[in-house]
Structure 1
Amino acid sequence: MRPDVVRLFQTLPHPCGYYDERTAQNLVIDPSAPQLPQIYDLAVQRGYRRAGGHVYHPQCQGCHACIACRVPVQRFHPDRSQRRCLARNAGLSVRIVPTACTSEYFALYRSYLQSRHRDGGMDDARPEDFERFLYTAWSPTRFIEFRDGERLVALAVTDFCADGLSAVYTFFDPEQHPRGLGSFAILSQIRIARERNLPHVYLGFWIDGHPKMHYKARFRPLEILRDNRWTALG
């Protein structure tokens, strides 16, 4: 195979994670391709996401609901609710650290999954699941810790790409739900991107009208990828 050719694979149909009555398929870049670390930045800019060592994009028959979205950080201004979130969490320390599977991280991860995804197949996670899902040897991943004093309350798994930050996954202490730690993590990623002169924060996929995805539309101006063009969400 030519060194400048990268294979794409399509997965078999599997249950959709957002609509019970639908099946889903993904287009996956060959995870064994030696060029994957070099092309990952471009893949993110073209709407791909990373889960472990797999870089993928939804490719579902008859459904185009999942739309890649990103925040242009220089034009972002928090709304009233987001300003309250920032004030509510102003006492937290925020620190960028290397990836690792520590007992502290894993305990928080497992607690979050048991609260949010009970009986969904993810709630009995093992340490190897943590590593396999969140980061890989070649990915430009860092963890962003959020601590209340010494206590870890949230962790944002973030890829530091050339064009911006890609918010891979965030988990937090379920007992701290009223603090809005998921939103605070995104607001922190936007601040970090701005400080590093990175133009975007990629938030994965937005689904119009879906209750699990509605929160992303509050980070205005939000850009969405349609017909291979990034345009403002109206």
Structure 2
Amino acid sequence: MRHSLPLAPQFYVTAPQPCPYLEGRMERKLFTSLQGENAIALNDSLSKQGFRRSQNVLYRPTCAGCNACLSARIRVADFKPSKSQRRAMNKNKYLKRGATSPWATEAQYELFSEYLETRHADGGMADMDVFEFAAMIEETPIRTRVIEYYIPGENGTPRELAATCLTDLLDDGVSMVYSFYKPELTKDSLGTYVILDHIEIARDAGLPYVYLGYWVPGSPKMGYKARFSALEVYQDGQWVEVEDPDDFSPDSHPLENEPIAQQVAKIDLPDMQSTKPDKPLF
């Protein structure tokens, strides 16, 4: 089914499929293509409205009778690390960070496969081959970087890849599209450290937000996102602060969601006649 505004872009809805976060529920996504000279402006605008990027597509959950998926971001200026997060920073401060263009490597794919096999063997990405992985990394029409974290060898030179994050640069922040890391370093809270380091990346670049993707109340897979201070979620057309995660519930009334056409009509689109120049993250 297609729903469109008077001007491009056009929006579509996926067929229902089992929700990967909440058992017994079905998910649908509202999506549009991300391409052409206005891709940067469109990505910037829709990211502020709860959309996420996957390769050349921008999507937002639009499930019947469920509003559990909430786009989350951290306000960099107000963030204060907890004691456990400070411990994570100290445990991983020996790692060396590097940033590259979005180009897939064999080392990245090996790390990605090891991560999925150990932590998400039953997930939708578990069967992704090297070509699909390369597409995930490389098919981007916007400003994207691959942030890599290395275990240093002699003289501080990179020895072994410990973590990788595919990161988009928005006009108001950095968006963590997908990250993965060595499973044996889970005990050192390496996943938390990558988020903490992205807060520093955003702060150094003068950007106000770090976009984390979707937080799903009631899903153990997503619980870690609620542990960060200065967290906001996009709900009912606005960003609201998460003061107490228990105030947010995965349950909603089956008639609560607006029809798809009304949702599309409320999307605020950028001026599609103007584009913004590219600028480096580092």
Aligned residues: 234
Matched, 1:56 2:65: no
Give me the whole-angstrom Cα distance separating, in 2, the residues matched to 1:135 and 1:13: 28
1:209 Cα deviation (Å)?
2.8
Matched, 1:41 2:44: yes
| % identical equivalent positions | 36
TM-score (norm 2): 0.78
Letter in 2 for 1:50: R
Distance 1:200 1:120, change over 3 A: closer
Name which of 212, 218, 221 aligns with 2:230: 221
Determine the structure 2 residue equivalent to 1:171: 180
Determine the structure 1 residue equivalent to 2:28: 25
Name which of 183, 193, 202 aligns with 1:184: 193
Q: How do 1:44-193 residues align onto structure 2 when only pairs under 5 Å count?
A: 44-149=47-152, 150-193=159-202
Ranked by relative contact order (alpha carbons within 8 Å, sequence separation 6 or more), the top structure is: 2
1:144 Cα deviation (Å)?
0.8
1:164 Cα deviation (Å)?
0.3
Who wins on radius of gyration, i.e. which is larger? 2
Give me the whole-angstrom Cα distance separating, in 1, the residues matched to 2:96 and 2:220: 30
* Cα distance per residue 1:57-103 (max 9 Å; x no partner): 00000000001110000110111000000000011111221111111
Distance 1:137 1:50, change over 3 A: closer
Give me the whole-angstrom Cα distance separating, in 1, the residues matched to 2:6 and 2:139: 22
Distance 1:18 1:2, change over 3 A: closer
Give me the whole-angstrom Cα distance separating, in 1, the residues matched to 2:77 and 2:139: 30
1:42 Cα deviation (Å)?
0.6
3-state SS of paired residue (1:69): strand
* Cα distance per residue 1:102-130 (max 9 Å; x no partner): 11111111111111222435323211111
Give me the whole-angstrom Cα distance separating, in 1, the residues matched to 2:37 and 2:99: 28
Give me the whole-angstrom Cα distance separating, in 1, the residues matched to 2:198 and 2:174: 7
TM-score (norm 1): 0.94
User: RMSD between aligned alpha carbons?
Assistant: 1.8
The 8 Å contact of residues 159 and 168 in structure 1, kept in 2 or not, is answered as yes
Matched, 1:5 2:5: no
Mind listing any 5+ residue stretches in structure 1 that lack a counterpart? none
